[in-house]
Amino acid sequence: MHVRFSGSVKRLPAVGVSSACARGFKAACVLAAGLWSLLLASCAGEAAPTPTPTPVPIGASEAIARAAAIMGQASSFRFALTHPVGETNLVGGLVLDEARGAFVSPDSLAISADTSMGRLFVEVEAVAIGDDAWVTNPLTGEWVDTSAGDSLFAFFDPSSLVANILGLVRDIEYASVPVAGGAVVLNAAISAYALSDLVGEVVDTNDLELEIRLDADTFALKRVRISGQIQEADGPDAVRVIEITDLNSEIVIEPPT
């Protein structure tokens, strides 16, 4: 499957553009994913029967360690970051609402982000392939060739970053229903400080609640739900969801034309 972008490309100074968007791209790639919250339904005033937990073959900490190892060795994947509650503030006054993209090892990345600046909606796209990088100008939508300057992603390896974050989670335990819908479901905690490379300035004294969903057969990361205040502007009920799909699938990232 190809990821292709179209539109004119200009080689222009991109210092302002890259500084305004780099944090958003890091936030979008992170992380990766796998977290899921299972709620038991009730109807007609009758409580739903308690399901019998499906046994899991390994400990909760080992399951997370396997997920981290898989992400660290991933050859490719697609990702999405959404905000069921709240948003992520980026540098330059941009606010990130949603981001999606693809990563191909070792150094190809494509991202499309829905952002806003005040009342202005801004869609930002970026592509990095090796030492070459392009980003759309938030004001005109035209592609800017930033290869001659600092690459937005020269410092950033999404698969390693996600693996490292998984390595920082603690208080890991299986959910009350540990296997559901073909996924292993775990609960964990992580310090907001651990996400500072993704979203910039954080309230580093806060702990966040995680719901992590792993593939039931391979323990690959599928979805992560992050609940709690990460940034100063967040409310206490802020929720971010990161999803990982098409792990190790055939993905081709091409430069914009």
Range of the domain at 193: 2-34+55-253
Domain contains 75: yes
For 71-85, write each residue's pLDDT tens digit.
Answer: 889 999 999 999 999
Domain contains 168: yes
The mean predicted confidence, pLDDT, of the chain is 77
User: Which backbone phi and psi does 23 adopt, to 5 degrees?
Assistant: -60, -35
Number of domains within the chain: 1
Q: What is the CA radius of gyration of the chain?
A: 19
Q: Give the separation between CA 53 and CA 236, rounded to whole angstroms.
A: 31
Cα 39 to Cα 171, 175, 224, distances in angstroms: 21, 11, 16
CATH number (domain holding residue 102): 2.50.20.20
Average pLDDT over residues 230-253: 94
Domain contains 46: no
What is the percent of the chain with per-residue pLDDT over 90, rounded to a whole number?
41
Domain contains 42: no
Domain contains 28: yes
Q: Which pLDDT does position 156 carry in this prediction?
A: 56
**Selection from 21, 54, 46, 22 nearest residue 176 by Cα:** 54
Q: Residue 4 — very low, low, confident or very high, per pLDDT cuts 50/70/90?
A: low
- The model carries a pTM of 0.74
Q: Which pLDDT does position 196 carry in this prediction?
A: 78
Q: Residue 25 — very low, low, confident or very high, per pLDDT cuts 50/70/90?
A: very low
Domain contains 126: yes
- Burial pattern 215-247, b for ≥16 Cβ within 10 A else e, equals bbeebbbbbbbbbbbbbeebeeebbbbbbbeeb
Domain contains 132: yes
pLDDT exceeds cutoff 80 at 6: no
For 90-99, write each residue's pLDDT tens digit.
Answer: 877 888 899 9
pLDDT exceeds cutoff 90 at 220: yes
Q: How far is CA 161 from the centre of its chain?
A: 10
Of the candidate ranges 13-22, 23-32, 104-113, 147-156, the one whose mean pLDDT is the lowest? 23-32
For 166-209, write each residue's pLDDT tens digit.
Answer: 888 999 999 988 887 789 999 999 999 888 777 777 887 889 99
- Residues pairing with 240 in the sheet: 226
pLDDT exceeds cutoff 50 at 245: yes
Domain contains 106: yes
